[in-house]
Amino acid sequence: MSLLDEVDAGRKDIRTDSYPMSISEWISMYEQKELDIHPEFQRFFRWTPEQKSALVESILLGIPIPPIFVSQRPDGVWDVIDGLQRLSSIFQLVGIFQDRDGNKSAPLTLTRTKFLPSLEGKSWEGNDPLPVELQRIIRRSKIDVSILLRESDQDTKFHLFQRLNQGGTKLTEQEVRNCILVSLNPVFYDWMKKLSEDENFKSIAALSDKSIQEAYDVELVLRFLLLVDASNESLARVGDVGSYLTDEVAKLASNNDFNRSYWEKRFTNVCEVLAQKVGEGAFRRYSIAKRRHEGGFAISQFEAVTAGVAARLDRNLSTDAISELIQSLWEKDEFTEWTKSGVTAARRLRRIIPFARQHFTQ
């Protein structure tokens, strides 16, 4: 297929429309439940009051606001693909924003901005409301909408969401994946989140608050699901690991045959064994010279140890020597050579996971 053919085929998968909409129209759609901004995304919603106030400042001063991207569902409702933070800030300002449980959030109180310092303390209503004239300006201001129509390919909106949220956004790659999951299969996302909160897993991973806030714990659950049983052939096809995780998690969430009960038991069993036999050293480097675990969480050790222990449990082998097997990883060139800095994640995975399975079951 030539480049022109590829472009032509790709364009056929996407049907779009666009036009400006007043903020009053956005508010009306939200109140009529014709717009789904996925309030569950608020767990990834980190705009500060200052950022929200800067948006209001831009609206009042007539500074163009980037377009909102939405996807039209079969029932006609719009799913917000990009623009969550802008719309949420506006809805919170006027006092109508609701969380995922349907509870209204506290109305937004504005802060001073560079050009409008007198915004300090202002709100839509209350003791110090915005003047009616300014409220009218806000309601009448327009924000463009770009609509991905229902005739578009089903996967397109998820690729578009990923692309739009990898630029200036503050979301990590896993937070973007989580948003995709919430759109695609919220039950599956909640299940993965539940696994990340397993007490044994939390104790042996010992992640920082920042890592947990950025959803790294959920990413580790995803790596477990995708890598523990990955064949050598599958591992050899992994290019960019981040893209691989994003592509594969959408497949998992859409797979009706995926056995969550089986994988939950497998994950919790591995974590329980590691918590009992190793503790916090499970995913920390082992110093042969000092004869102790040291440093912080090591992703290479997580990948190797979880795959190895899962393989050992599959064969019903004793778990008494797990700690010694982890320590002896660091005596093996087959492991240490591929966990050095400078080795790409994809090359590391192809080597250490097959090696770990053999190492833990010999």
Q: What is the mean pLDDT of residues 34-38?
A: 86
DSSP 8-state secondary structure symbol assigned to residue 208: -
For the ranges 155-159, 279-283, 314-318, 335-339, the lowest mean pLDDT is seen at 155-159
Query: What was the pLDDT predicted at 151?
Result: 45
Please return the burial class of 140, using the count of CB atoms within 10 Å of its CB with bins 0-12, 13-18 and 19+: exposed
pLDDT tens per residue across span 246-294: 889 888 988 999 999 999 999 999 999 999 999 999 999 999 999 999 9
d(CA 210, CA 98): 26
What are the extents of the domains in the chain? 3-170, 186-361
Q: What is the mean pLDDT of residues 55-83?
A: 88
Q: What is the mean pLDDT of residues 94-113?
A: 88
For the ranges 132-141, 183-192, 236-245, the lowest mean pLDDT is seen at 183-192
3-state helix, strand, coil in the chain (%, to 5): 55, 10, 35
Main-chain phi, psi angles of 23, to 5 degrees: -65, -30
Beta bridge partners of 17: 147
d(CA 343, CA 87): 42
Claim: this prediction has a pTM higher than 0.85 = no
d(CA 287, CA 21): 61
pLDDT confidence bin for 177, thresholds 50/70/90 = confident
78-82/68-72 β-pairing: antiparallel
Beta bridge partners of 286: 293
Is 286 strand, coil or helix? Answer: strand
DSSP 8-state secondary structure symbol assigned to residue 340: S
Q: What is the mean pLDDT of residues 315-331?
A: 95
